[in-house]
Amino acid sequence: MRGSEFADLRAFATIVAQGNFARAAAQLTVSPSALSQTIRGLEARLGVRLLNRTTRSVSVTDAGSRLYARLKPVMEELEAAVADVNDLRERPAGTLRLTSSRVGAERFLAPILGQFHQAYPDIILDITVDDVVHDIVAEGYDAGIRLGEMISDDMVAIKLGGSLRQVAIASPDYLARHGVPQHPRDLLDHACVNWRWAETGRIYHWEFQEPDGDWFSVAVKGPIIVTDKSLVLAAALQGLGVALWLEDRIQPYVQEGSLVTILEEWSGTFPGFFLCYPKQRHTPLPLRVFTDFIRATYGG
């Protein structure tokens, strides 16, 4: 097999794995138009259509599915072989793609960037920070920082920090005007600051814990819905209504008296943040040294 043929097959396999020409092109460091031309050439040589594609979507034909099923283990074996050779380097090198929520990045990535770079200057950290729960495998990430409840069983998880607790808060002015709710369901009669999941568009239902330990949710309503949680505090501080946010994030405002905690007896703890990555036979050296660094730093 000529080198160009192998490259074309690798391009096809990457498109199927990513489910998207743009993401595949980014991973292969080529333009989407060049990648499209590569696939057209491959299909012409094979004499079959491998992909059905429109301006918005890509789907795999039956012939493409059969080819990918044979290619996938071969590509994985070749990548593992290359990784084994790279492990012989004296200094770990390469690009590590990470995804993290904003809070996770602020707490666990920002403090270690300088130290990690000093220890491993040849590793590039390519970090995507947003509140979307990305599919780590399908989107080509090496690892991600996310809450424990959002980690699937096929992931290795390294604990970062302790458990978390969300607490309801409001400004003293708002409570003076509208009264203090005594039960979470009293929030149905209050203005609340809502948060929307970025990837699904679904509005988050506030979660509380009964004295017996059972969790329940309340679908609150109010004058503002946000996808950026930094706006939750801003809205509460300006008296727009009751908000729900992480206990340690609100403490400075509670201590200075600009916010008041309410319904604390209904606020239970839940698993905090974890660094997670796919279970795999061979963990690439850059990921291995990064996870070791995280364990050493945070004791996970």
Question: Quick one: pLDDT at residue 179?
Answer: 95
The predicted pLDDT at position 15 comes to 87
> For residues 181 and 190, is the Cβ–Cβ distance under 8 A?
yes
Q: CA-to-CA distance for 189 and 181, rounded, in angstroms?
A: 9
Beta strand 155-160 pairing with 164-170? unpaired
Q: Where are the domains of the chain?
A: 3-87, 92-163+272-298, 164-269
Query: Hey, what CATH topology would domain 3-87 get?
Result: Arc Repressor Mutant, subunit A (1.10.10)
Given a cut of 50, the residues of the chain with pLDDT beneath it are none
The answer to whether 59 and 51 are in contact (CB under 8 A) is yes
Predicted local distance difference test score (pLDDT) of residue 56: 66
- Residue pair 263/168 in contact (Cβ under 8 Å)? The answer is yes
Do 164-269 and 3-87 have the same topology in CATH? no
> What is the pLDDT, as a whole number, of residue 29?
84
- Please count the other Cβ atoms lying within 10 Å of the Cβ belonging to residue 128: 14
Q: What is the pLDDT of residue 221?
A: 95
The pLDDT of residue 281 is 67
The superfamily (CATH) of domain 92-163+272-298 is Periplasmic binding protein-like II (3.40.190.10)
Multiple choice CATH, 164-269, 2.60.40.1840, 3.40.190.290, 3.20.20.70, 3.30.1490.100: 3.40.190.290
Residue tagged 């995280």 (tokens): 294
> What is 141-208 written as a DSSP string?
-SEEEEEGGG--TTEEEEEES--EEEEEEE-HHHHHHH---SSGGGGGGS-BEEEB-TTT-PBPPEEE
> pTM of the predicted model, to two decimals?
0.68
Q: What is the pLDDT of residue 98?
A: 95
pLDDT for the residue numbered 271? 87
